[in-house]
Amino acid sequence: MSWRNARLGDVLTLQRGHDLPNHQRVDGDIPVVSSSGVTGCHNVAKAAAPGVVTGRYGTIGEVFYIEQDYWPLNTALYVKDFKKNNPRFIAYFLRNILRNYQSDKAAVPGVNRNVLHEIKVTYPDCSLQDRIASILSAYDDLIENNRRRIQLLEQSARLLYKEWFAHLRFTGHEHVKIKDGVPVDWEKKTIGELAPLKYGKALKADDRVPGPYPVYGSSGIVGTHDKALVTGPAIIVGRKGNVGSVYWTNSDFYPIDTVYYIEPENCNLYLYYALLKTQFISTDVAVPGLNRDYAHSRTLLVPDGKILALFEQHAVEIHNQLECLTKHNESLTKARDLLLPRLMNGEVAA
């Protein structure tokens, strides 16, 4: 029999994670896993690999597959016993169950492992588990490979900026005169002169209509909406919350009231990387935030037009690759998420 009916507790045993306050952590190579994934490291493991971890409080419904010994935190549940089932399959299996479970129990602030153990499930035999895990992990392996390539490209762009504008080793620097530590024909300008910051607009989560346009808060993309407020490309700067965070987007988007944004006509990739290096501080004691007048007063070194255009050319090439990889990952994720429930209910043969 390929598929059988059971309780979730017959398929696996979930265990609550373990307390580990920040002040008790010792730097090491053991990942500390919370309800939102890997959030730190420690020098001691509490659970052996492979691991499957999901949120007990906080981020509920996400499932993380851990390939090395790890420490699951008390905000999470982890699989203590796979009961001879394929661990990689169990990660997908649990993700499929909790996605449906979360939608049914949206009002419940947390997940009780004893309640989860009683959920009625249908699961396949081990040979079919292996095939399903192989199909889905092929998507995840491609996504992870692209993610690593994205990280390397982002690092290369930051290093290029540092080499050219911090160390002043830009193309042709040997033939440029330096005066007061700055190449001649370069100048210092304030952010207010270069690119005035505009206020985002309030858009509560309940008022958002899912659509094609990303909604940006100070922590990055926080949702989508059916209407855009700003045409891309543009730069977003955190105003409240994650103060001074900086994001670049090529697409049209909706900046909410926790951010500033810079209009497209004032944006370029040099400015984006310069702002990433700018020290923004919290100036409002009562409500931590970035004061716009203070931000406008920060100065940036502006290169001459030739160097600026050359840097922009290199940076655009990198960002075009980043955009292609990001879109590829979005397509892979969508395909995997569509395939997951179909494989889990036997609608698609593995």
Q: What is the CATH number of the domain that holds 191?
A: 3.90.220.20
Task: Report if residue 349 sits inside a domain.
Answer: no
Do 26 and 118 have their domain in common? yes
Average predicted confidence (pLDDT) for the chain: 92
Of 124, 144, 161, the last residue of a domain is 124
Task: Report if residue 51 sits inside a domain.
Answer: yes
Instruction: Please tell me the pTM assigned to this model.
Output: 0.84
Helix, coil or strand: residue 183: strand
Q: Are strands 51-55 and 76-81 parallel, antiparallel or unpaired?
A: antiparallel
Do 203 and 111 have their domain in common? no
- For residue range 301-323, list pLDDT tens digits in order: 999 999 999 999 999 999 999 99
Task: Report if residue 193 sits inside a domain.
Answer: yes
Between the ranges 47-61, 102-116, 200-214, where is the mean pLDDT highest? 200-214
Phi, psi of 195 (to 5 degrees): -155, 85
Q: Are strands 30-34 and 71-72 parallel, antiparallel or unpaired?
A: parallel
Residue-number span of the structural domain to which 200 is assigned: 187-302
- Which of 252, 245, 180, 253 minimizes the C-alpha distance to 216? 253
Total domains in the chain come to: 2
Of 124, 155, 176, the last residue of a domain is 124
Task: Report if residue 152 sits inside a domain.
Answer: no
Tokens of 135: 């199909």
Do 210 and 97 have their domain in common? no
Residue type, 205: A
pLDDT at 279 over 70: yes
The least confident of 23-37, 159-173, 283-297, 330-344 is 283-297
Mean pLDDT of 130-141: 97
Task: Report if residue 129 sits inside a domain.
Answer: no
Do 197 and 107 have their domain in common? no
Task: Report if residue 22 sits inside a domain.
Answer: yes
Of 101, 124, 147, the last residue of a domain is 124
